[in-house]
Structure 1
Amino acid sequence: MFQHSHQLYEYHVWANDRLFAHLEQLPKDVFHAEVTSIFPSVSQTLGHMYLFEQLYRLVLAEIPNEDIFPKIPGWTEEARGKTVDEMRQLFAGVAEQFRNLLRRTPDPDKAMTIGHPQFGSLDTHFSDILQHVVNHGTYHRGNITAMLRQQGHAGVPTDYLFYLMERRMKE
């Protein structure tokens, strides 16, 4: 059975893919153009999203923070200066790693305790952290839409409802 948390993650991948397909249609300079927003460019926003996805993939795999945090500079560098297509490939790779993790996690509601260096520990569930990953992506895809509009370009609809409707049409 396709579990709800898996479906939410597939929505997240779908929404990112739609965004990348849209970005590929825009002038190349839009991706790295500096704007006034949460991050200085679309590419840097996606770089942040990529780092976040890598980090929380390891959190969900229950890798200790002391093994995760040293990887952050490498992920940051890995995403720096990429083209839209190169960034899309990075996201495809982490999505496949996430899917492998989901396949290896038979109970998406399993209890887990995570530690945050600033806020302490949290007793939570795998599905709650996965929801956090999806929400984070939604938030920053919205930032990117605002950045594109600042540059005179439309965004792309990535609402969950559109994902559900497209999925239903394929059944």
Structure 2
Amino acid sequence: MNADAFRQLYNYHFVENRNIWHHIIQLPYHQFVQHFNYSLGSVRNQIVHLMNVDEVWFCELSGIELPVPYQPADTDDRVAIRARWDSVEQRMRAYLAGLRDDMLFEKPIQEPIEDRNLAVWQVLIHVINHGTDHRAQILRILHDLGVKTTSQDYVFYVYDLGLNMSD
């Protein structure tokens, strides 16, 4: 893989995150925070976790101080979560815009110690995989709430954009 391939994967990641938000914003507040005996419990907990993890890994890749993780409020905080989410996405996009092929094998993370030997490409794949996993969990919860959702398969993203066509 090269830097351009990772940018394409992350464009998919961002599109699918926005698709999830399309469903989340339409939920009544009580369903947004409703506890499920599954994974992290609620749609809100899932979405906050996904955002916080994306933010932490990209801060580590960028060598910047880790922010205080977002803590959900006791009120409907979807607007605040979405604003932070958009900010995280913009920082991720900025990092990816500067990504070069030679950077993929660098090991920029110093702390925690267990992450020191992770190459950039490994972290980038982990974040994509983590996002897919948690979006799938959110989609399952949305389905249980009666929301009609769609597939998040990468190949459908490729087909929709015509990225499978040769020039």
TM-score, normalising length: structure 2: 0.81
Partner of 1:151: 145
Distance 1:19 1:121 in 2: 29
What is the 5 A alignment of 1:13-162?
Answer: 13-63=14-64, 67-68=65-66, 71=67, 74-77=68-71, 79-80=72-73, 81-107=75-101, 108-112=103-107, 114-115=109-110, 117=112, 120-162=114-156
Amino acid paired to 2:93: R
Distance 1:123 1:2 in 2: 20
Contact 2:61–2:108 (CA under 8 A) maintained in structure 1? no
Q: Deviations over 1:98-148 (max 9, x none)?
A: 11111223235232153564x724423212211111111100011111212
* CA shift in 2, pair 1:2/1:106, >3 Å: closer
Contact 1:20–1:84 (CA under 8 A) maintained in structure 2? no
SS in 2 for 1:76: coil
- Cα RMSD (Å): 2.5
Range with bigger deviation, 101-110 or 131-140: 101-110
Distance 1:28 1:121 in 2: 37
Distance 1:112 1:45 in 2: 29
* CA shift in 2, pair 1:146/1:45, >3 Å: same
SS in 2 for 1:34: coil
Amino acid paired to 1:37: Y
SS in 2 for 1:33: coil
Structure 1 gaps, min length 5 = none
Contact 1:24–1:84 (CA under 8 A) maintained in structure 2? yes
1:44 Cα deviation from its structure 2 partner: 0.8
TM-score, normalising length: structure 1: 0.80
